[in-house]
Amino acid sequence: MIEICDLWKAYGENQVLSGLNLKIEDSETIVILGRSGVGKSVLLKHIIGISEPDKGSIDVDGVRVTDLSGEKLSMATKNMGMLFQSAALFDSMTIAENTAFYLDQHGDPKTGKKYTKAETKDMVDHALETVDLQGTQNKMPSDLSGGMKKRAGLARLIVYRPQYLLYDEPTTGLDPITAMHINELIVKTQEELKATSIVVTHDIVSALFVADRLALHKDGKIAYVEKPDTFLEIQDDVIDFLKKTISTDPRTFREKKDAKPN
């Protein structure tokens, strides 16, 4: 469980987080919606320990990570992984080397034991197959399309099976078909790993497809947190606008996909 309490962060005169509170339950997928620039990505960076708040606290499984730094912070967040908006692949490494980066650096996140080359190869191959990138091991990031780079970034994230998965605008810049493929992979990954997933986006279609709960980030705070049906009934100008952009509820596609034939 992650508990965020009274979190504040400003950059100069720009107050991004203003006493934000949020509790994220184990094994759920929570989607944080909001306009561009409101601080959704900033919140993710605080959760994973990249940024420090001006005030407030974040507890991960009972450990106050906002009080930690250096090796202690790394140990407390070792079961977290983040898919960055740009995928953030290393240009000079092959896709296999990118995917294996965490394994080569840290080994097993639970025990610290180093993997053999054969074990690493098997784990990398499985992760790439999971995101439908089998056969790309020797390619460079420059050889991949934008959607393929996102999937490669996801493979690098899931290869070490973290407990917490953080997604920063996972469908931004993608065409609708590729974006839906990413949404399906987010659901598939959460179900396979039994992980806790935190997705920040302004894409209501993606949000509805993957979310167990929806949260609205507004005015530096989490204004509402509800299950999708209840969330869509809230009278709010941002939510009203988001609803107008939906022609078909994407959850119907997920239901059809999950339905078993007679």
Per-residue pLDDT of the chain (262 residues; tens, 9 = 90+): 999 999 999 999 999 999 999 999 999 999 999 988 889 999 999 999 999 999 999 999 999 999 999 989 988 888 899 998 877 899 999 999 999 999 998 888 778 789 999 999 999 999 999 899 999 999 999 999 988 999 999 999 999 889 999 999 999 888 888 889 899 989 988 988 899 999 999 889 999 999 999 999 999 999 999 999 999 999 999 999 988 888 777 877 676 556 544 4
Alpha helices in the chain (DSSP H): 40-48, 70-76, 95-99, 101-106, 117-130, 146-158, 176-193, 204-210, 228-232, 237-244, 251-258
* C-alpha to C-alpha distances, 9 to 17, 43, 53, 111, 125, nearest whole angstrom: 5, 9, 5, 34, 40
User: Measured at the alpha carbon of residue 11, what is the angle toward residues 8 and 16, in degrees to the nearest 5?
Assistant: 45
* C-alpha to C-alpha distances, 72 to 6, 63, 66, 106, 153, nearest whole angstrom: 23, 11, 11, 15, 26
Backbone Cα Rg of the chain: 18
Domain positions in the chain are 2-258
Residue 159 tokens, joined: 């290869």
- For the domain 2-258, what is the CATH code? 3.40.50.300
